[in-house]
Structure 1
């Protein structure tokens, strides 16, 4: 997308020069996600010359600006927008003029004059300022882009009416000052992304490449120098039309497979817009599949690393069986609390390694019962060890398979062959929804279907509340990873049908995956009908109280 904050910073002054001396004379839409703005030296409402066009595409999956030489407006299926902003007749003039006179004045007014173009500090927005304190603001927030009209500080009209919360936005609140000094970098624990949230995916990838290109491991000062050099590039850039992650990208840094370079931001925006939207169905689907395979490969590599570290930790530390033996051999040395209970921790001699060992105990159990508890855990250790070994082997085999599938996809040249291969190898598989419905609307929740049962997954704490409180009914099944933060998961009830065991297990795997226990070997998951879940006043977002529950032990799985 070319709605990157740093690109908008460069685009604003370029547009300011283009729009100087022009008026906002027309605005219309011929497509649900597209709006055209016309600026010109106007003689009258519909009598103007030297027009400058801005075509904005504002889809959840793509937002951008095009500045075409001309736009042919269709005679049908187009609608005028932002009439109040275009019409310069003041309210008090309307009161003073008879209706027929007011219409004549309106028809001959030349549209509101452009006062300037501005960006907003650390925010992906671009505003065209008009006379009489009117403002047109392009908002490029993730999958919620929109065009808003302000009068003063207040919203008076939206292009996308479905984004109702945009009505509450305040123009003066868009600037977002952030301390981006060295001192703030230190205070943030040398996590530069906290200071520069507007860098985005491309710039962060560039910084990673610069760090990786150095021969030695760098420290905070060297990383800070790279960040400052990157900022200089972003403030005085060239523009690169490149291919990154198998799709056209407009970058302010030289990265990826560079196709063209530009000095002019408007020309760069046009070329990128045309390149991105000019992709055919085959190119889009092939790029999506290649990105999906690469994402799965990175996940497999990460899981191998996690599981190998767990295996190393297990070998270096005492096993549960050994801890049980150590406790039983030292029962007389463990201090007794009230009722012959145990302390929370005890330090004893590990006679296997001839060194001290600190053992965690459950205070409500006696030392002997604690030893028995460790013996019970030991029975699962062999299973867990076998599981970890199997996981590493499976992920290694998965990487080999993914690499082969990627090579196969690269060689495919037709859409028919691509779709046949995708189906034969089940590349899309049992994946949660991407957040966008086929009609372009945004899905509220991640969704998976198993044996015709719908499984809904909350996206964050607020979304969890929405799912549990508004979209779940008493007979739905509610799941959540035990004792950790994570997504609420709902299996929708079907009248007269019990919940199949395999559906419950699949939903539990998802609840485990979308939680802080994602990397655990096994995860306990709460399962209960929604009617036993309530949210008293005063609880934080996403927090609930479960009054009756059972649990299931599963392997976290996406």
Structure 2
């Protein structure tokens, strides 16, 4: 409730006592979403306001002192510097108050949750604003902020006891409190009496800072939650809220997010491992390619030309076996294909086992990280894991990229969607040190491993990305696919080449199975 109308009304009254005739000596920003105002009061004392106006958390804080950084700070609202505060105005039924300065300057504090802002006016006309992302705030009219409402008994009767029209500033917590008082089941007159008692309590409230499962909150109402602060000074209450929000609230929020992230990673890896094990079971139950080739060679006289399949005697199992064939090849050529597949089988099996072992290690790693975070008791212990959380890709950023996006062991991999999109990916988005991949000698997507830090890309990451290049190519149904690996600095395109075509000046080729994508 720290941005609720009823709390801001108490705050504005307190600020009026503190700031009347004080001069604004400093106004600057040295952190994103943070504005610092330093005043000199008539008795010579300093008074500081730190305004944190982020999209996730907006709050005012009042430190005893503040040391401005020597670098990376910028002066703001310079027109009002050294001006004297003439009035602190609270706007009726709005989450906003303003400081009026000599010279007809007004600093409006619009405390609208994740849309909080500070806006400068002169002679009632807009001058500038702090949060430039909130462009519509430039259209705010000071004359129209007050919202007078008829909150009389007659108006209450006319609305049949529906308080929302008379008290739109109550907010969720006050509405929940009214429900707990039995408001909905009461008759009209008792409802009015409940509202009048509540209004009186909100005029001069006791202020609480609570710790609940979902974070740290300031409230004007009693609660069963753990109390971190109780008092009547709104400045002290905001300082307590700010302190506990970052020491407890943010810690719990980040811890919960990390635990959920690691749990999802475990489940995803387990599903991948199970898929690999299922592949192994099917492979183990299937007839080896070399045996199929031997059966074909032993029964060449029984195989007619131009057929896709044939049933042949299986002398290994004393039964018959249905053998798939390429109708455009002769029987002996089909046998040669199976012999070739048999040679690749050992490589494929070794690669499969390597993937199984890797996924088991990944599961173990995710479990260890989950346990470490679960045991953490402060934000410092989470510090090493926060970068992993930020890689849990903001979906918005992913949607803005015009390519397929994959996360391969923490590395971002982009995959082109079509020929023109391949050109866009390779020639516009890819940087010199990014790794570029493509299935060899066939049409397919360009695949890029992003490497902005210019690190050595692990072999396992390259192999998984190569599997994606194989999957998004004409070779996606083959057991193994040759994939070109290069660096973007060795990729070029001339004007005579068609969309998607490039020249690779230096390359390496590896053989990988196409990736399996659900």
**Structure with the greater alpha carbon radius of gyration:** 2
TM-score by length of 1: 0.46
Q: Could you tell me the TM-score, scaled by structure 2's length?
A: 0.50
